[in-house]
Structure 1
Amino acid sequence: MTFRSHALRRSITLPLLILTMLLAVIAGSTAVASRADAAPAFPTVEPGVLTVGTEGTYSPFTYHDDTGKLTGFDVDVITDIADRLGLKIKFVESPFDSLFPALEAGRFDVIANQISYSDERAAKYDLSDPYVESAGVIVAKTDDDSIKSVADLRGKTSAQSLTSNYAEIAKAAGANVVSVDGFTTAINLLDQGRVQATVNDELTVKDYLRTSKNTSLHVAATTPDVSRQVFAARKGSQMMPAINEQITALRSDGTLDKTYAKYFNATASSSSTWDVVRRNLVPMLKAAITGTIPLTAISFVIGLAIALGVAIARMSNRRVVSSIAALYISIIRGTPLLVQLFIIFYALPELNIVVSPFPAAVVAFSLNVGGYAAEIIRAAIESINKGQWEAAATIGMNYRTTLRRIILPQAARTAVPPLSNTLISLVKDTSLASTILVLELFRRTQEAAAPTFDYLPLYAAAAVYYLVICLVLSFGQSNLETRLRKFVAT
């Protein structure tokens, strides 16, 4: 009896065990399938992260609030999409005209910056379904009644970002288009009377007029076309079906309407100019300490090392060596620093050479300093009397020892003033690094001025920071010159 009961229990337990294992496998497979369905079926620049390019200075779509946090209509929409796709989100900020080159260089996955749909863009990029629509408007001076339609732009000067659809509208109407880096610059030029019009998104313009309470400007006319705002990705990125699905879901459940109301139906907050400046002084100082100063210091030290090597090569008796050094100097001095930055950051990725923003800026600035400082160092070395070389040779010093212990200490005294000028120029040139996604003092100032339009006080504050840095460097230059006088031969 006992044997039969035991056998019976075994006969029941075994099938139950097998059934349990099968159910576990099925459940596990279902869970894996669910996770696979939840995970996006497209590659991203960083695994598990949706990297988004945005301007950060285009209120109310992408801007920094009073706390310095990146916010805006486009920022919220793409963040909601990333959350629903199970992705973390990372924003990379850049001037508008740099967004598409950076996208093509693989710096981010998608652009979220009020990109208007056009057939030309659709042929070159993957564009999402529209997530908001708005009209284009022409802004002019309130006392200027000469513009009442798009046709009236003919012969007028209009400030536009050249990579925007609105620039094409102005050009097609016969306007003389002045290139600017964004809406804030365009509206500022118009307000100052430097241009006669600007064409831009209706929502952006209304937000500006509501926030700034500027009665000297008005909406003079509406363009006949309706602008459909989309997200843009590289061609063949495979992410747009998933993004489009989430745009539809956001519209269906009312989230998109709530986000719209948050930014376009809100009342304008009032802050005094002093409040705006006061709350941005620390962030601007932090940007100077963590961005401008380190970038200057690292680039200058590396640049001096390059310059010394190039200067010595330039003085070489070997024609090939001297010619290569001369060619390097000619290339650096004959091309704009901004072009050099763009080649290193945006063009090299086409050769599969991808350099991060800060190192790319260091490389560009170092090479630039090397080209200019090389001639300064060469001139300083050649200014030393040849008798110094001969005297060193008579006591058995070789070329390297003579250069290090006799010539360079004396040449340094001559080279310090012009090299100091190069260093001070480098401090100011670092503002160009914002074009390749580096956050430094001037970029932080632009972020602060964009939503508030308090240009004069904020730019004046930035000028004070630059001035203080340069005064400190000038003081250091004076002290260094005093210490080096003892090396001058008499």
Structure 2
Amino acid sequence: MTCSPSLFRRAVGLALIVLAATATLLLGSPSTPRAHAAPTLTTVEPGVLTVGTEGTYAPFTYHENGTGPLTGFDVDIITDIAKKLGLRVKFVEANFDSLFPALEAGRFDLIANQISYSAERAAKYDLSDPYVQTASVIIARSDDTSIRSVDDLRGKTAAQSLTSNYAEIAKAAGAVIEPVDGFSTAIRLLDQGRVQATVNDELTAKNYLTSTGDTKVKIAATTPDVSRQVFAARKNSGLMPAINTEISALRDEGTLDKTYAKYFDATAKSPSSWDVVRSNLVPLLKSAITGTIPLTAISFVIGLAIALGVALARMSSRRIISGVAQIYISIIRGTPLLVQLFIIFYALPELNIVVSPFPAAIVAFSLNVGGYAAEIIRAAIESIPKGQWEAASTIGMNYTTTLRRIILPQAARTAVPPLSNTLISLVKDTSLASTILVTELFRQAQNASAASFDYLALYSTAAAYYLVICLVLSFGQSTLETRLRKYVAT
């Protein structure tokens, strides 16, 4: 039986149609979009979305009970977005005024901390689409009837974070701005009558009043400003198209509304001060052991090595060497430690020198100790009678051997008391490391107090830990002085 060409062509055409239909069923119609794949995004750490946040700004970003994991409205939203993008989220905590400098220094990819949209910020940073919109309110003392509108802020003192939109609202109204590091500090100053008002988000204010039952303050007025909350990234980061897509997806599927209800439609019972302290004793101790003490010990040992070298250079008969040492000492002693920290952590990245938080703190503290301790060591060495050098020389000892076996053991006893003071000051100065993203004892106390607003109890507990550490060091100083007495020439 023969097949005509036309019949053959029809059979082939039918087979191609069946094949195309089968492929369409298996692979999906070309006109039907597939579930979108996560775009390839350039982040600080591949596969990780590193997010900067305060961790002390309830209910947007805080630690539950002060000791639990990081939580909050902004934390949940950005975590959901990261999951949809196929990225693991990592949070880096810092004071609010440190967030934008750290973002520009490349410490994280974006900020999730109830950032309000403004034209100025949009010109400098990549801002996402708004994920929530809230009103701004003026919080004043309950017995203050002079503030009924934003115009009444003129001449009043308002506690504000300098880099926040709320500071701009208060400043534009004619208020005198008292800089603070966050809402918890602002509300504390207002409670104590040190300032007359603070401008902040309505949701934050209502959450504070509900969770604490504070009757000393009230929402005195609502400003005309409406805050649109966004995420912020470095300019031309390439992150925002993907993030905006996921914000829309969360809104469409109702996740935004559910998360909102979780944090703003529920009421919380404030625990007693004793419960707050008891639940934070171990976390505060852990922060002291893993943060404050290692930071102090490492920095002091490195600082002493620097100080000895600088002290010997300072005593050198060569003017260039002595002059360089003197310049180093002058710079360290002539600039605040906080400024030194900020230069190393926030400014050096502009020169492509990026140091992680803990090592950056060690570098700053070590250099600071080196500058101060160098003069202590120099004075101790020069207090040893020159006859000791001459006697060592007569028995054939060289400079290094004389220094190691004769001079330094005797100078050590003279140097121990002032060096101990330097060490004890360093223990307390480590609290400044919280400004460059290091979580140590004081930062942990801030986290806990931000969740409970129980400042007196928690800061007193942190102070007790610092006191215990310093008392142990003082005891060690006395013991060391006793042992070194045998090296004193009589």
1:136–1:227 Cα contact (<8 Å) kept:
yes
CA distance in 2, matches of 1:357, 1:270: 34
The equivalent of 2:58 in structure 1 is 59
Q: Residue 68 of structure 1: CA displacement? A: 1.6
Q: After superposition, give the CA deviation of every residue in 1:271-314 in whole Å (9 maximum; x if it has no partner).
A: 11111110111001000000000000000000000000000000
1:163 partner SS: coil
CA distance in 1, matches of 2:34, 2:104: 30
Q: Residue 36 of structure 1: CA displacement? A: 11
Q: After superposition, give the CA deviation of every residue in 1:42-98 in whole Å (9 maximum; x if it has no partner).
A: 200111110000000000000000352100000000000001111100000000000
1:38 partner SS: coil
Q: After superposition, give the CA deviation of every residue in 1:337-358 in whole Å (9 maximum; x if it has no partner).
A: 0111011111111111111110
Q: Residue 270 of structure 1: CA displacement? A: 3.4
Tell me, yes or no, if structure 1 residue 38 matches structure 2 residue 37.
Answer: yes
The equivalent of 1:7 in structure 2 is none
User: Relative to 1, partners in 2 of residues 1:471 and 1:36: Cα closer, same or farther, differing over 3 Å?
Assistant: farther
The equivalent of 2:292 in structure 1 is 292
The equivalent of 2:335 in structure 1 is 335
The equivalent of 2:16 in structure 1 is none
Q: After superposition, give the CA deviation of every residue in 1:11-64 in whole Å (9 maximum; x if it has no partner).
A: xxxxxxxxx9xx99xx99x9xxx9995233320011111000000000000000
CA distance in 1, matches of 2:35, 2:314: 61
2:82–2:88 Cα contact (<8 Å) kept:
yes
The equivalent of 2:391 in structure 1 is 391
The equivalent of 1:131 in structure 2 is 131
2:97–2:163 Cα contact (<8 Å) kept:
yes
2:138–2:220 Cα contact (<8 Å) kept:
yes
Q: Which amino acid aligns with 1:55?
A: E
Q: After superposition, give the CA deviation of every residue in 1:134-156 in whole Å (9 maximum; x if it has no partner).
A: 11111111110111111111111
2:38–2:84 Cα contact (<8 Å) kept:
no
2:212–2:270 Cα contact (<8 Å) kept:
no
Q: How many residues align?
A: 467
1:150–1:223 Cα contact (<8 Å) kept:
yes
Instruction: List runs of 5+ in structure 2 lacking aligned partners.
Output: 1-18
Tell me, yes or no, if structure 1 residue 448 matches structure 2 residue 448.
Answer: yes
The equivalent of 2:280 in structure 1 is 280
1:41–1:239 Cα contact (<8 Å) kept:
no
Tell me, yes or no, if structure 1 residue 49 matches structure 2 residue 16.
Answer: no
CA distance in 2, matches of 1:129, 1:276: 38
CA distance in 1, matches of 2:46, 2:164: 30
CA distance in 2, matches of 1:80, 1:51: 14
CA distance in 1, matches of 2:274, 2:356: 36
The equivalent of 1:264 in structure 2 is 264
Alignment RMSD = 2.0
CA distance in 1, matches of 2:225, 2:42: 35
The equivalent of 2:488 in structure 1 is 488
The equivalent of 2:439 in structure 1 is 439
Q: Which amino acid aligns with 1:53?
A: G
Q: How do residues 179-190 of structure 1 correspond to structure 2 at under 5 angstroms?
A: 179-190=179-190
CA distance in 1, matches of 2:438, 2:76: 23
The equivalent of 1:234 in structure 2 is 234
Q: Which amino acid aligns with 1:404?
A: R
Q: After superposition, give the CA deviation of every residue in 1:236-279 in whole Å (9 maximum; x if it has no partner).
A: 00010100011011111110000000000001123111111101
2:147–2:153 Cα contact (<8 Å) kept:
yes
1:296 partner SS: helix
2:289 partner SS: helix
The runs of 4+ residues in structure 1 deviating greater than 6 Å are none
1:127–1:240 Cα contact (<8 Å) kept:
yes
Q: Which amino acid aligns with 2:467?
A: L
2:270–2:452 Cα contact (<8 Å) kept:
no
CA distance in 1, matches of 2:294, 2:57: 28
Q: Which amino acid aligns with 2:310?
A: V
The equivalent of 1:474 in structure 2 is 474
The equivalent of 1:377 in structure 2 is 377
Q: Which amino acid aligns with 2:64?
A: D
Q: Which amino acid aligns with 1:457?
A: A
CA distance in 1, matches of 2:432, 2:35: 43
Q: Residue 451 of structure 1: CA displacement? A: 1.4
CA distance in 1, matches of 2:270, 2:206: 16
CA distance in 1, matches of 2:385, 2:135: 72
